[in-house]
Structure 1
Amino acid sequence: MGKFINKLQIDLLKRHVNPFLFCFFTLMFLLLMQFLILHIDNLIGKDIPLKVIIELILTNLAYMVVLAAPMAVLVATLMAYGKFSELNELTALRASGINPMKIIRPVLITSLLLFVGLAWFSNNVLPEANQKARSLFIDIRVKKPGFELKPNIFYDGIEGYTFLVEKIDGETDSLYDITLFQKPENNRDRAYIIAEKGLLVSKNAQALNLNLMNGYSLKFTQPKRGNNTLIERNTFDKHVMTLDLSDLSFMRSDPEDRNRSDRTMSSRAMFIVVDSLYKEVNKQVAMAGKDSSLIASRKYGGGESYFVHQQMSKNTNTKPIPAFESGYIVPNHFDNASTQRSLLSESIRQLTEYQKRLESIQSNIEWRKKRIARYLVEIHKKLSIPFACVVFILFGAPVGIMTKRGNFGFAALISTVVLTFYWVALIQGEKLADRLLVSPFIGMWTFNIVLSIAGIYLIIHLATGFSIKDLFKKSD
């Protein structure tokens, strides 16, 4: 019997391999296509080297692996156990007196190993890949489009110049009816150039010669003395200009020179940041308490305040106005109304300043708490998404057995419904945690916990026949 169980367990594990690989690579392809569709505008038309585009795609494959693996596990589990139940192998297993949990155990252990590997990947490989991809995205975003003149459209892609060309011959790189505005930059004077014809000649990868023919130029020169601008007119048969195209070339930057965000940091690095943020929050709280003690220590009763002594000394040479009965306790200790009024105005001023300081401290604390929540969300996410591999085994195995269908279409249908709820819950949980409405743990783990409880209940139901209805029967 033991050999039979081992063979059956190995057979079930093998049944997971093909559906898992097929679904995994299918999802990777779909995610890759989605990525290309979203970013195709940033990659085309900028003369970016193919090597850079391939590197950008490879670095973005890291997050796709983390997303695709749990989804592939769910589909493979539904198909493998659905086929197992469809062939009535479960009935034979039960007839032999074998607990169905034994056929789930090896797959569950495998999912735990996958969880550990995926969690390591998410914590060590994914942040570095995200940092490189982020750096590449920034480099691509700041790169200007190539030198592409279009007829009757102003072009200012080259720094310091604005072009307007009426006609372009693409075969000979000839330009006709050219208007060129030269900006007063880099020791150049402002100039206005008109030419009947021009010819573009490539000098090297970062420079381009523009040969202008039959035209004239207006050069606006600002003399060192005086405010009058000198206008110099020159006609030419041929005029050669060298255009610097270095700004149009793609430049790589070092990813390590860029600041890291929560998605480009390991859990250890984020814990360090969180710890420092907690210390800053405690400092802000201590500052608020210190300010309140300063306000409280400024006693006005009994004539102890320096401010009150000052007010009383000011009123020694004038006839004091008799004090009036106030609704406040402290002002009633003084003999004249002017001191009372000064005391009240000073108290209100200090309390207003204290209120503003408290509001500033409160906003600083809230900002730091939101940063803490964002880092903690990312830390929990590095574990909750990989742990979905285990959750989907707990839920998918009994569901697959109960549905008794091992075809891909049915498994894909159930997986689509479950994964839709899972990702919606994960995204909404992240948003709620970032807004401090729920804790990061609840935001990232709620659906995992709910689905795990549902899966454990279904496994117990398959193994023992236990149902929730039995609890109510016993209570009755």
Structure 2
Amino acid sequence: MRLLPNKLQLDILKRHVGPFVFCFCTLMFLLLMQFLILYIDMLIGKGLPLGVILELIVTNLASMVVLAVPMAVLVASLMAFGKITELNELTALRAAGVNPIQIISPVLVSAVLLSIFLMWFSNDILPDANQRARSLFIDIRLKKPGFDLKENEFYEGIDNYTFLVKKITNESDSLHNVTIYQHPTRDRKEAYIKAQNGRLESEQDGQTLTLFLNNGSVLRKLDRRQKGKLIDVFEETKFDRYRISFDLSDLAFSRSNPADRSRNDRTMNIQAMSSVVDSLRNQIENQREQIIENNRYIYPTLSNQNTGKKREPHLNRNRVDTTDIPYYSTYLALQHLQSKNEQQRLHDIALMKLRNYKSFVEDITQDTQWRLEKIAQYLVEIHKKFSIPIACIVFVLLGAPIGMYTKKGNLGYAALIGTVFLTFYWISIIQGEKMADRLFISPFTGMWISDIVLGLVGLILVISISTPFQLSKLWNSSD
């Protein structure tokens, strides 16, 4: 069994190197330009050292590599195999008894090795690079707090707050005509804050951001009970000066010890995310058992009720107070009580406990829903670390036969065809991630559907070009 490639296969591999390197560098340049266009306004006027800017660019290059490599593989396959067919070399090889699968196999093996490399890169290198890039962004933001705010645009860079500022004086970080929406959390109600002007300041510790507001009002939402029903009440308070402090300790930049900073799904490896998923699932299971085992809401009791005696409510003829005669109820528990007052008390207690139990279940349901969404987010990232590298294999299966069929090896045809398939692939990945995060589909489906579809198409095309089998024979035979 021959393990090393022959001269023909080595020649095929060499023809891929040039287009792959060219496409990879071009795509990296385009992705880098896109990054700079998006964040150039964040880097100008900050007085940042050149080394910090270069470090920010380098750390963001890691995520670009994961995207650019599969795209370069597809375009390189289209160009290399298209050039082979264009020069009639494929016809000569077939005449010499060489099957096209022998030409594709060394490129396919190289794609497998490249996929393994990308899996390692995505799991071991990319999370740390994303964490460094995230820390640098936060460090830049704290250097000049009003930096991310833009005039007449909603800003949600700080958790649980939405900002809208009409005018910003960049030199002094002064804000004019400020509107802030404070999102409701477990610790506070929602509120609407308006002020004529204000300013943002960063504390020396770099972990606290303080907003000073002047001449405004706060509209708070309060809960009030009226006739046993919970209603919404709004309270407005005027102020001359108002201060809000934002705790950024979880996101505080510490270049000396980055391991101490918190991480999210984009900055964790597979092992860490799997551990978080297991922990969340255990919490969900504990909550489920808590609902099943929590009986204190279900069984109402009367403290002065003697449950050891069996009482017949309708047989006591010595009762003087006829207004307290128990009424007949279809509920067995109420039939064993001797007075209407006891029945009413038990009814009220049972209703109160059921309402408390309903509130208890609703709280656990919301917590469970949040945990399920977090699990989905982590699973999406885990599957993504495999599905995108596997795309290298898929794109070889797809690009090789299509290049042979087109018989065009120039960059124009390869770029045009590659754009069609890459657009489909990345739209599927992006939309699949969004739908999986919202629990509409499973994380596996969201991340693998495009690989499966394009992989099947590629396999069919490879079989079609390497064997006498044709799909049209299936329809002809059925007729």
> What TM-score, normalized to structure 2?
0.72
Partner of residue 197, structure 1: none
Whether 1:380 and 2:389 are equivalent positions in the alignment is no
Kindly state the Cα deviation for residue 441 of structure 1 after the two structures are TM-superposed. Answer: 0.8
Instruction: Tell me which of 402, 406, 426 is aligned to 2:405.
Output: 402
Partner of residue 218, structure 2: none
* Contact 1:15 1:80 (C-alpha < 8 Å) held by counterparts: yes
Instruction: Tell me which of 332, 336, 352 is aligned to 1:333.
Output: 336
322 and 15 in structure 1: CA distance in 2 versus 1, 3 angstrom threshold:
same
Whether 1:463 and 2:469 are equivalent positions in the alignment is no
* Contact 1:308 1:343 (C-alpha < 8 Å) held by counterparts: no
Look up the equivalent residue of 1:109 and give its one-letter code. V
Instruction: Tell me which of 302, 310, 319 is aligned to 2:321.
Output: 319
Look up the equivalent residue of 1:387 and give its one-letter code. I
299 and 145 in structure 1: CA distance in 2 versus 1, 3 angstrom threshold:
closer
Look up the equivalent residue of 1:462 and give its one-letter code. I
Kindly state the Cα deviation for residue 154 of structure 1 after the two structures are TM-superposed. Answer: 10
154 and 8 in structure 1: CA distance in 2 versus 1, 3 angstrom threshold:
closer
Query: Cα deviation per residue 1:51-72 (whole Å; 9 max; x = unaligned)?
Result: 1111111111111111110000
Look up the equivalent residue of 1:20 and give its one-letter code. F
Query: Cα deviation per residue 1:270-321 (whole Å; 9 max; x = unaligned)?
Result: 1111111111111111111112x4445x276xxxx646449x99xx998362
Partner of residue 117, structure 1: 117
* Contact 1:139 1:252 (C-alpha < 8 Å) held by counterparts: no
Distance 1:251 1:128 in 2: 14
The percent of aligned pairs where both chains have the same amino acid is: 54
473 and 414 in structure 1: CA distance in 2 versus 1, 3 angstrom threshold:
same
| Root mean square deviation, CA, Å | 2.8
Distance 1:465 1:299 in 2: 78
Whether 1:281 and 2:284 are equivalent positions in the alignment is yes
Kindly state the Cα deviation for residue 333 of structure 1 after the two structures are TM-superposed. Answer: 3.0
Look up the equivalent residue of 2:11 and give its one-letter code. D
Distance 1:156 1:87 in 2: 66
* Contact 2:66 2:118 (C-alpha < 8 Å) held by counterparts: yes
Distance 1:13 1:139 in 2: 45
Kindly state the Cα deviation for residue 327 of structure 1 after the two structures are TM-superposed. Answer: 4.0
Instruction: Tell me which of 267, 272, 288 is aligned to 1:269.
Output: 272
Partner of residue 38, structure 2: 38
Whether 1:66 and 2:66 are equivalent positions in the alignment is yes
Partner of residue 94, structure 2: 94
* 3-state SS of paired residue (1:373): helix
Distance 2:49 2:134 in 1: 17
Distance 2:170 2:123 in 1: 49
Partner of residue 258, structure 1: 261
* Contact 2:82 2:403 (C-alpha < 8 Å) held by counterparts: yes
Partner of residue 49, structure 1: 49
334 and 140 in structure 1: CA distance in 2 versus 1, 3 angstrom threshold:
same
Partner of residue 180, structure 2: none
21 and 318 in structure 1: CA distance in 2 versus 1, 3 angstrom threshold:
farther
Kindly state the Cα deviation for residue 48 of structure 1 after the two structures are TM-superposed. Answer: 0.5
33 and 155 in structure 1: CA distance in 2 versus 1, 3 angstrom threshold:
closer
- Unpaired segments of 5 or more residues in structure 2? 147-168, 175-252, 312-317
Distance 1:155 1:41 in 2: 15
* 3-state SS of paired residue (2:338): coil
Look up the equivalent residue of 1:459 and give its one-letter code. V
Kindly state the Cα deviation for residue 453 of structure 1 after the two structures are TM-superposed. Answer: 0.5
Distance 1:132 1:418 in 2: 32
Query: Cα deviation per residue 1:40-89 (whole Å; 9 max; x = unaligned)?
Result: 11111111001111111111111111111000000000000111111122
* Contact 2:254 2:261 (C-alpha < 8 Å) held by counterparts: no
Partner of residue 134, structure 1: 134
Partner of residue 198, structure 2: none
Partner of residue 208, structure 2: none
Partner of residue 417, structure 1: 420
* Contact 2:300 2:346 (C-alpha < 8 Å) held by counterparts: no
Kindly state the Cα deviation for residue 335 of structure 1 after the two structures are TM-superposed. Answer: 3.1
Distance 1:76 1:31 in 2: 18
Distance 1:94 1:144 in 2: 66
Distance 1:18 1:372 in 2: 42
Query: Cα deviation per residue 1:111-132 (whole Å; 9 max; x = unaligned)?
Result: 0000001110111011111111
Look up the equivalent residue of 1:319 and give its one-letter code. D
Query: Cα deviation per residue 1:120-163 (whole Å; 9 max; x = unaligned)?
Result: 011101111111111111000111289xxxxxx896469xxxxx
* Contact 1:74 1:392 (C-alpha < 8 Å) held by counterparts: yes
Distance 1:125 1:138 in 2: 20
Kindly state the Cα deviation for residue 8 of structure 1 after the two structures are TM-superposed. Answer: 1.9
> What TM-score, normalized to structure 1?
0.72
Partner of residue 232, structure 1: none
Kindly state the Cα deviation for residue 472 of structure 1 after the two structures are TM-superposed. Answer: 3.5
Higher deviation after alignment, 316-325 or 43-52: 316-325
* Contact 1:45 1:145 (C-alpha < 8 Å) held by counterparts: no
* 3-state SS of paired residue (1:465): coil
Distance 2:423 2:395 in 1: 13
Kindly state the Cα deviation for residue 434 of structure 1 after the two structures are TM-superposed. Answer: 0.5
* Contact 2:135 2:254 (C-alpha < 8 Å) held by counterparts: no
Look up the equivalent residue of 2:81 and give its one-letter code. Y
Kindly state the Cα deviation for residue 367 of structure 1 after the two structures are TM-superposed. Answer: 0.6
* Contact 2:111 2:396 (C-alpha < 8 Å) held by counterparts: yes
Distance 1:130 1:11 in 2: 38
Look up the equivalent residue of 2:321 and give its one-letter code. K
Name the structure where helix makes up a greater proportion of residues: 1
329 and 466 in structure 1: CA distance in 2 versus 1, 3 angstrom threshold:
farther
Number of matched pairs: 369
- Unpaired segments of 5 or more residues in structure 1? 147-152, 159-249
Look up the equivalent residue of 2:417 and give its one-letter code. I
* Contact 1:430 1:440 (C-alpha < 8 Å) held by counterparts: yes
7 and 369 in structure 1: CA distance in 2 versus 1, 3 angstrom threshold:
same
* 3-state SS of paired residue (2:6): helix
* Contact 1:46 1:145 (C-alpha < 8 Å) held by counterparts: no
Look up the equivalent residue of 1:13 and give its one-letter code. L
